[in-house]
Structure 1
């Protein structure tokens, strides 16, 4: 049986240990001969790599492990590139969140001005990875879950149209797990869904169990009362950050706008932006929460493992819901025809929508990659919202490609989250100042 070679780009990410543990947990389904880490920040990656090397040696010593900052070493002889890079790290995420809040506008890492700023940083980094992969392992597939996935997906569609890239997001996976629990199922794998939208901007239209029974009425009843919060969390919420608890509960209000469907949680930023600003602390945003929480914990624990020389008693957790990445890799490697929600060129999947939009819809995945399933025509409300949002994403990519200040200003002005063109320009000028090191020169 073939064993696979994987490179994880973003080796210094706080998510990397969880991904490695998840891969080790799935070796029977997806055998691996080699795991490589690639990052352009050597010292940061080394801390994660030293711990992961020990974990791999203890759990699967037959796997060859390499951590490198050299593209050739990283990208030669690989079957899959799993990419989750964050250009500018959490320091820039903090700017993405705090600058808009200064103007009373939502500060969020993938939505509105913050997402646009992050997108302008990410495009170049992701394209560089694609080019390395194609140069050194032209038969490999890139499984990209670098954010903001919608802007990155549009950039790869437009600027690398023939590349073997699949753009994925774990947010629907996380929400579906909550839906499954709310109706007493063990796993989202016991559900078959229909869904359409853009990344972080979509709606479920049909959810059935494996026998074909309609689960929508029961899930809607739960969401109408509690949003996507679960009973045990409502009583005891220490395991979930406060900001996520608020997000899951807020889905109740988002659902009320269109009770025919079930919404992605991120729609709260577009439909209730003032509520989000009122709820935010401009001095201490989600980036600060992550730096003080997960980042501190993961790096601290990795350094402890490296010093101890063993992973015994470690508190690093398997990224369970990242197992969809293995499902995707397996679908390509073994032609399994798994049904998955992916971000793909529309090309008729949503009949009454822009053919060139990168949409998130269920796909059947095999050796040729994803085949989108047609979702038919969508209602005017969703169509209007999506047309506005897809235009924002396209303008950002055009601004990056052309170095156009004007188009980036237009993108910000068009975002539902930004109240008017004057505020859009003020935010843009501040973001431009903060991102000099990372954005292309705009004129």
Structure 2
């Protein structure tokens, strides 16, 4: 396999997901060869603690790749082919507030859904816009592959500000993770599953699961299995209890609406009240992640620094986040036309005819050298259309509130959000709290 080597920048490289992404890049090096890898984060201390592990790993497995660690955004973007974007504006500290503050009012706290997702989106939009402007200054033709959450809000904002930039692609790894879990249940290779799907990000449904070798739609078989079995992630033994409960709620959602298989994140919109009641306001997923993945990864990195070798240190691999990022870039770079679940603007209502044309819909599509080709889905039924239109209105008002610093639109957005339930009194309480907590990041008038 003879493929040209590429230059990639990881934006938000201080994330503890990065070492596993490095493992994925190593595993795919023949398929996606790297000439240069730039690890960029505005918080240099987050990169510093991981630098030795990453350096030692690349020296061992990919010594031909030039490696750069930097907190200088000018240096980060010069002449790159791809930007893999995984920002977390405000870090774990602000994520903790996103998850805990709504619980004061009996409202579910989650980093991408509801008020938590609203606050995170408001923090992320302007830094993401700045990033795109900088990249276009130094690398006008680079592909910007955005995995920054909440992807629905961030992606919608970018589509509004950069309507003609077709080299910005917003992706989410949860459908990929679910397909990997489907494959384990169905006993097939996940790459032999060609899905059909419709919705908005973190707000959609699987409608078909075609076996690309036999043509069989395996969704009926999967649904029959789930009647009598709990849905579990493919790596259930490694998951925190909250994620096991999340997957189990897919069964519960299907007990009410069995036609399609829902994205796990829909649990927050259907069962928000009970999830809020069951939540520990002092220990949310932010603490779970810090005590779990964050601690594990940082301990491994510190050990690499102490011994300056990889002896007795495993190669971390991103079976979902990392692998998907590399597979997406590979499909674009080498014109593979592989099928993924992709976000894109519903221009001319060509994808979902009975949804607004400015909606950032999420459907199956293929990725080639020309970018994303979303498969037209057709009209969605009244129930799903109603849910999606409400969610799109919330997302659109959130973006406008951020870009215009508009308090009224923010209040309207949160009032519409299903986890708040249409109560403007609760929406205002939460919004005023979030404004105070996030005053260093955004302000409304």
Question: What TM-score comes out, normalization by structure 1 length?
Answer: 0.96
Cα distance in 1 between the residues matched to 2:18 and 2:367? 25
Cα distance in 1 between the residues matched to 2:271 and 2:441? 30
Cα distance in 1 between the residues matched to 2:57 and 2:141? 29
- Which of 91, 107, 117 lines up with 1:89 in the alignment? 91
Secondary structure, counterpart of 2:84 in structure 1: strand
Structure 1 segment 16-35 matched on structure 2, within 5 A: 16-35=18-37
- Which of 396, 421, 427 lines up with 2:430 in the alignment? 427
- CA shift, 1:265, in A, is 0.6
* 1:285 and 2:300 correspond: no
Matching residue of 1:375: 377
- Which of 23, 40, 43 lines up with 1:41 in the alignment? 43
Secondary structure, counterpart of 2:259 in structure 1: coil
- Which of 119, 122, 130 lines up with 2:121 in the alignment? 119
* 1:328 and 2:328 correspond: yes
Cα distance in 2 between the residues matched to 1:384 and 1:104? 25
Matching residue of 2:227: 224
Cα distance in 1 between the residues matched to 2:232 and 2:56? 37
Is the CA contact (8 Å cut-off) linking 1:55 and 1:310 kept in structure 2? no
- What RMSD in Å do the two structures reach over aligned CA positions? 1.3
- CA shift, 1:226, in A, is 3.1
- CA shift, 1:238, in A, is 4.3
Secondary structure, counterpart of 1:46 in structure 2: helix
Q: Which digits, 9 at most, give the CA deviation of each residue in 1:196-229, with x for residues without a partner? A: 0000000011112121112111110122333422
Is the CA contact (8 Å cut-off) linking 1:223 and 1:251 kept in structure 2? no
Moved more, 126-135 or 383-392: 126-135
Cα distance in 2 between the residues matched to 1:213 and 1:139? 39
- CA shift, 1:343, in A, is 0.8
Cα distance in 2 between the residues matched to 1:387 and 1:400? 20
- CA shift, 1:49, in A, is 2.2
Cα distance in 1 between the residues matched to 2:253 and 2:10? 35
- Which of 195, 198, 201 lines up with 2:197 in the alignment? 195
- CA shift, 1:279, in A, is 2.0
Matching residue of 2:101: 99
Matching residue of 1:264: 263
Secondary structure, counterpart of 1:221 in structure 2: helix
Q: Which digits, 9 at most, give the CA deviation of each residue in 1:1-59, with x for residues without a partner? A: 41000000011001010111101100111111111011100111111223211111111
Secondary structure, counterpart of 2:196 in structure 1: strand
Cα distance in 2 between the residues matched to 1:35 and 1:65? 5
Unaligned runs of 5+ in 1: none
* 1:179 and 2:182 correspond: yes
Is the CA contact (8 Å cut-off) linking 2:52 and 2:308 kept in structure 1? no
Is the CA contact (8 Å cut-off) linking 1:37 and 1:49 kept in structure 2? no
| Moved segments of 4+, more than 3 Å | none
Unaligned runs of 5+ in 2: none
Q: Residues 227 and 353 of structure 1: is their aligned pair in 2 closer, same or farther, counting only changes over 3 Å?
A: farther
Is the CA contact (8 Å cut-off) linking 1:193 and 1:207 kept in structure 2? yes
Cα distance in 2 between the residues matched to 1:110 and 1:155? 15
Is the CA contact (8 Å cut-off) linking 2:14 and 2:47 kept in structure 1? yes
Is the CA contact (8 Å cut-off) linking 1:225 and 1:252 kept in structure 2? no
* 1:205 and 2:207 correspond: yes
Cα distance in 2 between the residues matched to 1:115 and 1:399? 14
Cα distance in 2 between the residues matched to 1:183 and 1:146? 31
Cα distance in 1 between the residues matched to 2:262 and 2:390? 17
Is the CA contact (8 Å cut-off) linking 2:147 and 2:171 kept in structure 1? yes
Matching residue of 1:397: 399
Q: Which digits, 9 at most, give the CA deviation of each residue in 1:275-331, with x for residues without a partner? A: 211221111111011112211221221121122111222245200223222222122
- Which of 71, 75, 78 lines up with 1:76 in the alignment? 78
Cα distance in 1 between the residues matched to 2:437 and 2:216? 52
Matching residue of 1:254: 253
Structure 1 segment 314-393 matched on structure 2, within 5 A: 314-315=313-314, 317-321=316-320, 322-347=322-347, 348-393=350-395
Secondary structure, counterpart of 1:207 in structure 2: strand
- CA shift, 1:269, in A, is 0.5
Cα distance in 2 between the residues matched to 1:222 and 1:356? 37
- Which of 54, 65, 68 lines up with 2:67 in the alignment? 65
Secondary structure, counterpart of 1:359 in structure 2: strand
Question: What TM-score comes out, normalization by structure 2 length?
Answer: 0.96
Secondary structure, counterpart of 2:9 in structure 1: strand
- CA shift, 1:255, in A, is 1.4
Secondary structure, counterpart of 2:354 in structure 1: coil
- Which of 435, 440, 443 lines up with 1:437 in the alignment? 440
Secondary structure, counterpart of 2:264 in structure 1: coil
